[in-house]
Structure 1
Amino acid sequence: MFESVVMLEIELHDPSVRRNIARLEELLHDDFIEIGRSGAIYDKQQVMSLLMSAAPVDVVSQDYVEHLAGDDLMLITYRSAHVDSEGVLTNFARRSSLWQQSGSGWRLRFHQGTPTDAFDKNKT
């Protein structure tokens, strides 16, 4: 179960998914809320609009940890960074995502990004 939710989280990092309205509708809960790295709060429609208009960004994520919150809720935490055109990591953040399972599968209910110190990319 944890691995499936992590794969959905990673899917949301894919620029092609970020521009796919139908897939975003499937992945984001109708009551989705995000608190961004800046501290700004966004609802589902605002996030979808921002993702559709933003320049594509390569994201690296790692150090996923599961925090079970109930039978149908899973909180995952991880670290992420953007990868610039020269392969340099920037915009480091600690992330938390609350996923809720429903009849249609796991959907992202809440997400928060908090700026953090730089870290080295894990070697895989």
Structure 2
Amino acid sequence: MEHEFSLKEHLRELEERLLKPEIRTSAAEVSKLLADDFFEYGSSGHVWHKYEGISEGGIGVVRMTLSHFEIHQLSEEAVLTTYRIFNEKSLQHTLRSSIWKFGENGWQMFFHQGTPTRA
């Protein structure tokens, strides 16, 4: 029997996939999760786009923990996710938001933003 996920569970799983080393180090796997027109306002203050940010080795390994995950339905095909991230290497907390769009390739991240915050 196929396990059915709620939309919230499914999008959390997709967000967490983007934190896994085996996904982050694969340009093909990262590309599946990011829409072609994806862009990010990073917690570093840099802006990057899918077409310029993914190398052959992916997007680099991180050690981050996701918590306080919520979704906010924008339309039938668009959802805003919000959550907190703790970067275990830099000991930095950030507030995160992503916009996911549903299309012919399923759910893909269209936009992401990270904002540094206190614990």
Same fold (TM over 0.5): yes
Shift of 1:53: 6.2
Q: Which stretch of the first structure deviates more once superposed, 104-113 or 44-53?
A: 44-53
Change (3 A) 1:104 1:6: same
| Equivalent runs, 1:25-40 vs 2, <5 Å | 25-40=31-46
- TM-score, structure 1 normalization: 0.84
Of 58, 78, 81, the match for 1:52:
58
Structure 2 Cα separation of the partners of residues 31 and 67 of structure 1? 21
Shift of 1:28: 0.4
SS of the aligned residue for 1:4 comes to helix
Matched, 1:13 2:19: yes
Structure 2 Cα separation of the partners of residues 3 and 16 of structure 1? 20
Q: Match for residue 4 of structure 2?
A: none
Structure 2 Cα separation of the partners of residues 46 and 57 of structure 1? 19
Structure 2 Cα separation of the partners of residues 115 and 51 of structure 1? 26
RMSD over aligned CA atoms reads: 1.8
**Percent identical residues:** 34
Change (3 A) 1:96 1:51: farther
Structure 1 Cα separation of the partners of residues 50 and 96 of structure 2? 17
| Equivalent runs, 1:86-105 vs 2, <5 Å | 90-105=91-106
- TM-score, structure 2 normalization: 0.87
| Deviation per residue, 1:22-79 (Å, 9 max, x gap) | 111110000000000022110003332397364x221100001111110000000000
8 Å contact kept, 2:66–2:86: yes
Counterpart residue type for residue 3 of structure 1:
E
| Deviation per residue, 1:88-121 (Å, 9 max, x gap) | x712100000000012110000000000002xxx
Of 5, 25, 29, the match for 1:23:
29
How many residues align structurally? 113
